[in-house]
Amino acid sequence: MGKLIFNYEKCTGCRACELACSFHKEGVFAPSKSRIKIVRIDEEGLDIPIGCEHCDNAPCITACPTRALSRNSETNAIVLNPDFCIGCKQCMVICPFGAIHYNENREIFYKCDLCDGSPECVKWCVTGGIEYYEGIEEFPRRKSADRIQHFLLNLPKSTRSIATGGGNKE
């Protein structure tokens, strides 16, 4: 059960992920052909990665009349099978994240397929702007537990001793 986590707080807008994706999938460097997109909002200094969320209740699957879209049970990815695709563009319209793209030259539709469980974009993201988690059910809980643990471990010494009744105020 894999999922990409987009973390705009960490993204620097370097767009390496876009280039890695388009190169991996299409053999060219072209953000327009990337499955992931970075929205660079220069006026606010914000960079927001947007891509397929591989939704549980995926509207694209519902919208597709030919079942060209389906979930890969191994990777959790929602994949598009071009052989079944009739080009009706319903999925493109309905996806809230604009994650389904159209290649005019080759007249095919494409979307993120999580690179069969080894996402290329993540390999090039040095900041954690995109992360890949295989066990999505565990992810949020484990991470907050980690944070609390980290917080407690890093509490200044004196505070800890106050908690146990000692206290070493200067």
Partner 1 sequence: MTFDYGGYAGKTLRIDLTKGKIIKETQSKPKLEKYLGGRGVDAKILFDELKPNINPLHSDNVLCISTGPITGLLGPTTGRINVATKSPLTDIYGNSNAGSDWGPELKYAGYDNIIIKGRAPKPVYLCIDDEHVELKDAAHLWGEGVFETTLTLQEEQRGYDTKVAAIGPAAENGVLFCSIIFNLWDAAGRTGTGTVMASKNLKAITVSGSGELRVADPERYLEIVRDGWLGVLNDPGFLMGEHQALGTPICVNWGNAQGWLPTRNFRESTFEGADSISGEEFRDKYSTRSSPIPGGRACMSCPNRCKRFGRIESGKYAGTRGSIEFEGIAAFGSKCGVSDLEAVFHAYTLSNDYGMDCVSCGNAIATFMELVEEGVLEDIDKLGLRFGNADAMVEMVHRIANKQDKLGALGALGAYKAALKIGKNAVDYTTSVKGIDTIACDPRVAKGFGFTYAISSRGSDHLRTHVVFEMIRMPPEIGKELFGSEGACDLMSYDGKVRMVLWHENLAAITDSIGSCRFMHASYYAQYPVPELLGKLRNKKEVNSIKYHDWISAATGMKIDYKKLLEIGNRIVNIERALNTRFGMRRKDDRLPKKFSKPIPKGPGKGQRFPKKQLEKMLDEYYTSREWDLKTGLIKKSELIKLDMKDVLDDLDKKKLVR
Partner 2 sequence: MTYVTVKYLMVFSQITRKRKELIPISEGMTLQDLMDILYVKYGRRFKKAFGEDLGHRSALITINSKVKETPYILNPGDEILISHIVGGG
- Where does this chain bind ligand SF4 (CB under 6 A)? 11-17, 21, 24-25, 35-36, 38, 47, 49, 51, 112-115, 119-121, 124-125, 127, 129-130
Give me the half-sphere count of Cα atoms (radius 13 Å) on the Cβ side of residue 170.
Answer: 1
Rounded to whole angstroms, how far apart are CA atoms 90 and 73? 23
Rounded to whole angstroms, how far apart are CA atoms 11 and 129? 4
**71 is a contact residue toward partner 1 (CB under 8 A):** no
Residue 85 touches which member of partner 2, partner 1, ligand SF4, none, C-beta under 5-8 Å by kind: none
Q: Write out the two tokens for 99.
A: 């994650």
CB of 150 to partner 2, least distance (A): 9
Give me the half-sphere count of Cα atoms (radius 13 Å) on the Cβ side of residue 58.
Answer: 23
AA letter at 124: W
Closest residue by Cα to residue 64 from 50, 52, 76, 78? 78
Of 12-20, 63-71, 77-85, 87-95, which part binds partner 1 (CB under 8 A)? Answer: 12-20
Contacts to partner 2 from residues 99-158, by CB under 8 A: 153-154, 156-157
| Residues at the interface with partner 1 (CB under 8 A) | 9-10, 12-16, 19-20, 22-23, 26-33, 39-45, 47, 124, 126-128
| Residues at the interface with partner 2 (CB under 8 A) | 153-154, 156-157, 170
